[in-house]
Amino acid sequence: MTDLPRFHHAIPVDDLDAARRFYGEILGCPKGREDDTWVDWNFYGHQLVTHYAPGPRGEHQNPVDGHGVPVPHFGLLLNAEDFHALAERVKAAGITFVIEPYLRFEGKPGEQWTMFFRDPAGNALEFKAFADDDQVFAT
């Protein structure tokens, strides 16, 4: 993992049991505190909170490197080993990718492995891995 700052992020989910299975069992995130309407997760060293919030959510897509990137989305920067291990876990669980794992911006500044998939509530998640973390903000 890099020395980039850690974050706290809260996301809406419409089924806490499905969120527990997805984040806890499929993604392998340790569970922290919880109550009737929320669950804290150790999301690769970051705090992610799934809050029960039923109802529809909208989405937009922006083109990036020939793919329609879902907006909004959130995710993490992982090292390459963790990125590929997570990709295999997601594939083994039968999760459908929004964007399959691939090498984006190959040979250009900011070259990165990236993948997108959704949690059971439809929240889009992106995971990236840079060969060189100094390239995270490269232009």
Asked if residue 1 has pLDDT above 60, the reply is no
**Residue 1 located in a structural domain:** no
**Residue 3 located in a structural domain:** no
Give the H/E segment covering residue 92.
helix 80-92
**Residue 122 located in a structural domain:** yes
Domain count, the chain: 1
pLDDT tens digits for range 12-65: 999 999 999 999 999 999 999 999 999 999 998 889 999 999 887 777 888 888
What per-residue confidence (pLDDT) applies to 3? 58
Query: Domain containing 48 — which CATH number?
Result: 3.10.180.10
**Residue 119 located in a structural domain:** yes
For residue 53, give both structure tokens.
């919030």
pLDDT tens digits for range 18-29: 999 999 999 999
Which residues span the domain enclosing 19? 8-54+61-135
Greatest C-alpha distance within the chain: 48
Asked if residue 82 has pLDDT above 50, the reply is yes
* Rounded distance between C-alpha atoms, residue 80 and residue 103, angstroms: 11
What per-residue confidence (pLDDT) applies to 137? 81
Helices (H), 76-119: 80-92
The whole-model pTM stands at 0.85
